[in-house]
Amino acid sequence: MMKKLLLCGVVAVGLAACGGGDSSTTDAPSAGEKAAVTSGRDQIKIVGSSTVYPFSTTVAENFGRSTSFKTPIVESTGSGGGLKLFCSGVGANHPDMTNASRRIKASEIKRCADNGINDIIEVKVGYDGIVLANSRKSDQFNITLRELYLALAKDIPNGNGGTKPNDHQRWNEINPALPDTKIEILGPPPTSGTRDAFVELAMEGGCQTFDWIAAMEKTDKDTYKAICHSFREDDNFIEAGENDNLIVQKLNANPNALGIFGFGFLDQNADSVQGTVINDVVPTFENISDGSYPVSRSLFFYVKKDNIGVVPGIEEFLNEFTSERASGQDGYLAEKGLIPMKPEEHAARKASVLALETVSLD
Q: Enumerate residues 318-337 that contact another protein by CB under 8 A.
A: 330, 332, 336-337
Whose Cβ is closer to another protein: residue 176's or residue 190's?
190
**Would you tell me how many other CB atoms lie within 10 Å of the CB of residue 165?**
11
* H or E element at residue 275: strand 273-275
Select the span of 60-68, 145-153, 285-293, 310-318 touching another protein (CB under 8 A): 60-68
CA distance 122 to 303: 7
CB closer to another protein out of 231 and 293: 231
Q: How far apart are CA 234 and CA 226, in angstroms?
A: 17
The reply on whether position 237 binds another protein by CB under 8 A is: yes
The Cα 201–Cα 330 span in angstroms is 27
Q: Which residue among 115, 230, 319, 323 contacts another protein (CB under 8 A)?
A: 230
Q: Does residue 268 interact with another protein by CB under 8 A?
A: yes
Of the candidate spans 161-169, 218-226, 303-311, 341-349, the one that interacts with another protein by CB under 8 A turns out to be 218-226
Q: Which is nearer to another protein, 144 or 334 (CB)?
A: 334
Q: What are phi and psi of 263, to 5 degrees?
A: -60, -35
248 CA to centre of own chain: 17
Residue 245 sits in the site that holds another protein (CB under 8 A): yes
Is the Cβ of residue 108 or residue 147 nearer to another protein in the bound state?
108
Chain positions 173 to 192 lying near another protein, rule: CB under 8 A, are 182, 186, 189-192
Question: Based on CB atoms, which residue is closest to another protein, 108 or 122?
Answer: 108
Residues 291-320 that bind another protein (CB under 8 A): none
Distance CA 159, CA 151 (A): 16
**Mind giving me the DSSP string for 225-245?**
HHHHHPBP-STTEEE--S-HH
CA distances (Å), 152 to each of 128, 139, 193, in order? 21, 20, 18
Sign of the CA dihedral with 275 first, then 280, 282, and 283 last: negative
Region 271-290 residues binding another protein, contact defined as CB under 8 A: 271
* Nearest residue (CB) to another protein, 22 versus 290: 22
Identified binder of another protein from the candidate list 1, 2, 4, 309, rule CB under 8 A: 4
C-beta of 122 vs 244, nearer to another protein = 244
How many other CB atoms are found less than 10 A from the CB of residue 90? 16
Pairing label, strands 142-143, 277-278 = parallel
Q: Which of 96, 122, 128, 244 binds another protein (CB under 8 A)?
A: 244
Is there binding between residue 76 and another protein (CB under 8 A)? yes
Residue type, 64: G
Q: How far apart are CB 175 and another protein at their closest, in Å?
A: 22
